[in-house]
């Protein structure tokens, strides 16, 4: 199969995966703080030109626009952009553009800030995506990333799901690698001087029982839906559910009032040389 055809089919599967379930609901349930966290780390100010790559529903793009920046939110999945555009806060200096993070449709050096909050990490070809982030950022501009770490809870979730998921395409790398300082160093080399590399935790207390977290992901989170569907095709659906239940029990840091989870992420902000 020609490479361009294979890539087109891969991206179509990615769009379908992220359009399944209800990722906008997950953002509203517990992910809103990470967008604001990245915007603050990037020091976004009025008048700057900002590109949010793999923006989803605008979790980082909207707070950046609320600070007075001129923001472009790009994403591969049209349904997520439409959900973001419909948010009541979205009537700002904010443009929504359907775009592949590995082939951005923007001119070289056209943004002051290029950022992504738990978004670009899911582009399958990490180097291609990193090269695009650098290309569209002006020299002296800011590149800001917030990514789940390999060692944290989301890294463990992807390891739990991996035996049940379809085989990744050639050259694809695990998303949580973007939360590794060493991996970022390899992707960006001397093109970006990172002045901020900070690990932090997103605390989640939205669920009464630990396994409610797993049920939530099976219902609303595209990668989990896809992995479970593949397990079902192989007759391993019950095995998948048991593995996810064990994962939830292991990562619960419970309180008397209910389940509590801590998701580690890495904030990486640097200057484009």
The pLDDT of 189-198, averaged and rounded, is: 98
Q: Is residue 218 part of a domain?
A: no
Strand partners, 103: 100
110: CATH: 3.40.50.150
Confirm whether 210 is domain-assigned.
Answer: no
Structural domain includes residue 257 = no
Q: Which residues are within 8 A (CB) of 34 and not within 5 positions of it... i.e. 6 or more apart?
A: 59, 60, 117, 118, 146, 202, 265
The answer to whether residue 132 is domain-embedded is yes
Domain annotation covers residue 251: no
pLDDT digits (tens, 9 = 90+) for 21-76: 999 999 999 999 999 999 999 999 999 999 999 999 999 999 999 999 999 999 99
Does any domain span residue 233?
no
Nearest of 211, 200, 195, 181 to residue 265 by alpha carbon: 200
Residue 183 in any domain: the answer is: yes
Which residues make Cβ contacts (< 8 Å) with residue 105, sequence separation at least 6? 97, 99
Answer yes or no: is 236 within a domain.
Answer: no
**Range of lowest pLDDT (6-20, 70-84, 98-112):** 6-20
Helices (H) and strands (E) in the chain, counts: 11, 7
* Residue for token pair 């089919």: 9
Structural domain tally of the chain?
A: 1
Residue 49 belongs to domain spanning: 3-151+167-204+264-272
Pairing label, strands 261-272, 192-204: antiparallel
Average pLDDT (167-174) is 90
pLDDT score of 2 more than 50: no
Task: Note the pLDDT tens digit of each residue in 210-236.
Answer: 999 999 999 999 999 999 999 999 999
In the prediction, which pLDDT does 7 show?
A: 79
How sure is the predictor about 91, in pLDDT bands with cuts at 50, 70 and 90?
Answer: low
């Amino acid at each position: 199969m020609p490479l361009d055809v294979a890539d087109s089919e891969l991206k179509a599967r990615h769009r379908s995966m992220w359009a399944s379930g209800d990722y906008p609901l997950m953002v509203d349930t517990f992910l809103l703080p990470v967008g604001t966290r990245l915007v603050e780390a990037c020091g976004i100010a009025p008048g700057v030109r900002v590109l949010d790559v793999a923006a989803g529903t605008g979790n980082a793009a909207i707070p950046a626009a609320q600070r007075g920046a001129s923001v472009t939110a790009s994403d591969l999945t049209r349904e997520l952009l439409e959900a973001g555009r419909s948010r009541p806060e979205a009537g700002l200096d904010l443009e929504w553009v359907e775009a592949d993070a590995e082939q951005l449709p923007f001119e070289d050096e056209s943004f002051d800030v290029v950022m992504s909050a738990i978004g670009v990490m899911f582009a399958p070809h990490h180097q291609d995506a990193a090269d695009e982030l650098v290309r569209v950022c002006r020299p002296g501009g800011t590149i800001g990333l917030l990514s789940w770490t390999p060692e944290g809870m989301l890294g463990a979730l992807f390891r739990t799901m991996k035996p049940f998921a379809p085989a990744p395409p050639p050259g694809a790398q695990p998303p949580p690698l973007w939360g590794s300082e060493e991996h970022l160093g390899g992707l960006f080399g001397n093109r970006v001087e990172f002045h901020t590399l900070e690990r932090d935790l997103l605390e989640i207390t939205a669920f009464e029982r630990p396994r409610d977290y797993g049920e939530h992901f099976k219902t609303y989170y595209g990668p989990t839906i896809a992995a479970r569907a593949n397990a079902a095709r192989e007759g391993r659906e019950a095995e998948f559910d048991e593995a996810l239940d064990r994962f939830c029990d292991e990562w619960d840091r419970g309180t008397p009032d209910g389940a509590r989870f801590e998701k580690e992420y890495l904030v990486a902000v640097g200057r484009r040389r």
